[in-house]
Amino acid sequence: MKLQKIVNRLQKLHPKEIDLSLNRIKKLCKTLGNPQDKLKAISIVGTNGKYSTIQALFAILKETNIKCNIYTSPHIKRINERFVFNNEELNDDELEFLFEEIEEANNNEPITFFEILTAAYFYNASKYPENINLIEAGLFHRFDATNILKNNLASIVTSIGLDHLDWLPKNERTTKKIIFEKTSTLLNSNIIIAKQNTSEIINEIKNSIKKNSSKKYYFNEDYNYSLNENGFIFYEDRNGAIKLPIPNVKGQFQLENISTAIATLRSIDQLKVNEKHIKDGVTKIKSIARLQEIDSGKLKELVKNNKLLIDGSHNPLGAKVLNEYLKSLDCDKHIILGMMGNKDHNEYMSYFKNIASLTTVDIPNQPNSIKGKVLKNKLNSFDNVKYKESIIDAIKSIPVKENDIILITGSLYLAGEVLNLN
């Protein structure tokens, strides 16, 4: 496949997968005419919730008849997911042509894979100057390739927690350091801060951005929502209150992300987002591998009438919010787990209480993942943990009863394998 051959070439342009610096991306973008300077952008930084917030923004903006370009990472099933222009993913031929253009402009100079993908996104996005760009920051933010915009419409700070610590010096692997990396270079526009796990994190964010002259909107202080027992959501911010229908996605954390998306769009006057756009948009959110229910396909056939969910959470903060959802369900929960090797496996699983069974698996095609057998031995505090080599074997081995659910979690890479297998 031609596209995969090009991707393989781009992955070999730099000896490191990640090399935190802005010099290479700036140099390439200068060759391309600095396309990033021509964009209307909303930047999304944080540890968890970036993808879900982007999908909520996208759903509402579509109802407003505003076209979007979207840049996210990593992809779940295929690389095309990272490149959305005019509301549509690029097809293989379009992506091949784009990559070849950028590859030629780079002229075989050293550059990381993420950096050259980001340059490709900026270059193609500049062809749609009236579109709104929803740009997810990659690792941290300060030296992330997406952090070369000169201005934007808004910056969203989603929930921040410990993750990717192996990329920080050993003496700086703290939440405070992560907050500094993610927020200290935010642009001057609007900053919308999502719900955080602790008041200490909120205070540290406030301290980090205190010299930033942006208008600032904090969850609970400037916007909020409540779930009404009569089956609707009551959202409120500086612009007033809205009674909203229940969104089409699962989990309390999704409501938090949706409220942040609404606060962001209502803070940008020029977008002219109204109540009807918001009400219609929140019922049409497409969310892949974030508490996604598999309701048809090969794997669904194995569980028959039982529910099968996948969730790509992979850090302690993600485990915490995922377990909050599980606790709301009155049934037995069976977890199938696969994780990358650099994660805190015991800390991740420590949030899951009273699960009926735990099955570890290998993540196919991921050499940096932890082997399922090794993961099983690390999680020996669980009485009912077992190992199965494949996802299918794991599902077949679970003795589900009526109303039980099976949740596959621990990695976005595992989620992608599940979706492709299904």
CATH of the domain at 326: 3.90.190.20
Phi, then psi, of 288 in degrees rounded to 5: -95, 130
Residue 165 has pLDDT above 70, yes or no: no
- Judgement on whether residues 105 and 129 belong to the same structural domain of the protein: yes
The residue out of 281, 305, 323 marking a domain boundary is 281
What is the structure's pLDDT at 164? 63
Residue 16 has pLDDT above 90, yes or no: no
Q: How far apart are CA 199 and CA 207, in angstroms?
A: 12
Contacts of 90 (CB under 8 A, 6+ apart): 80, 83, 84, 98, 124
Which comes out higher in pLDDT, residue 14 or 383?
A: 14
Q: How far apart are CA 335 and CA 185, in angstroms?
A: 39
The 10s digit of each residue's pLDDT in 139-158 is 779 999 999 999 999 999 99
The residue out of 259, 281, 303 marking a domain boundary is 281
CATH of the domain at 213: 3.40.1190.10
- Provide, rounded to the nearest whole percent, the portion of the chain with pLDDT above 90: 87
The 10s digit of each residue's pLDDT in 307-346 is 999 999 999 888 999 999 999 999 999 999 999 998 999 9
- Confidence grade of residue 188 (pLDDT, cut at 50, 70, 90): very high
- Judgement on whether residues 272 and 306 belong to the same structural domain of the protein: no
- Judgement on whether residues 308 and 196 belong to the same structural domain of the protein: no
- Judgement on whether residues 365 and 399 belong to the same structural domain of the protein: yes
What is the structure's pLDDT at 163? 65
- Judgement on whether residues 111 and 165 belong to the same structural domain of the protein: yes
The residue out of 231, 258, 281 marking a domain boundary is 281
Residue 182 has pLDDT above 90, yes or no: yes
What is the structure's pLDDT at 384? 81
- Confidence grade of residue 167 (pLDDT, cut at 50, 70, 90): low
Q: Is residue 287 part of a domain?
A: no
Average pLDDT over residues 251-256: 91
User: 204: domain range?
Assistant: 2-281
- Judgement on whether residues 20 and 93 belong to the same structural domain of the protein: yes
Average pLDDT over residues 80-90: 98
Other CB atoms within 10 Å distance of the CB of residue 231: 8
Residue 363 has pLDDT above 90, yes or no: yes
Q: Is residue 134 part of a domain?
A: yes
- Confidence grade of residue 204 (pLDDT, cut at 50, 70, 90): very high
As given in the structure block, the two tokens for residue 137 are 């920051």
- Judgement on whether residues 192 and 318 belong to the same structural domain of the protein: no
What is the structure's pLDDT at 161? 82
- Judgement on whether residues 236 and 319 belong to the same structural domain of the protein: no
- Judgement on whether residues 59 and 200 belong to the same structural domain of the protein: yes
Phi, then psi, of 88 in degrees rounded to 5: -130, 140
- Judgement on whether residues 349 and 265 belong to the same structural domain of the protein: no
Residue 356 has pLDDT above 90, yes or no: yes
Q: Where are the beta strands (DSSP E) in 201-328?
A: 215-218, 223-228, 232-237, 240-245, 292-293, 307-311
Q: How many domains would you assign to the chain?
A: 2
- Judgement on whether residues 253 and 133 belong to the same structural domain of the protein: yes
pTM for the structure as a whole: 0.94
Encode 193-211: b = buried (16+ Cβ within 10 Å), e = exposed: bbbbbeeebbebbeebbee
Residue 100 has pLDDT above 70, yes or no: yes
- Judgement on whether residues 249 and 315 belong to the same structural domain of the protein: no
Q: Is residue 286 part of a domain?
A: no
Going by C-alpha positions, the residue among 279, 252, 278, 208 that lies closest to residue 45 is 208
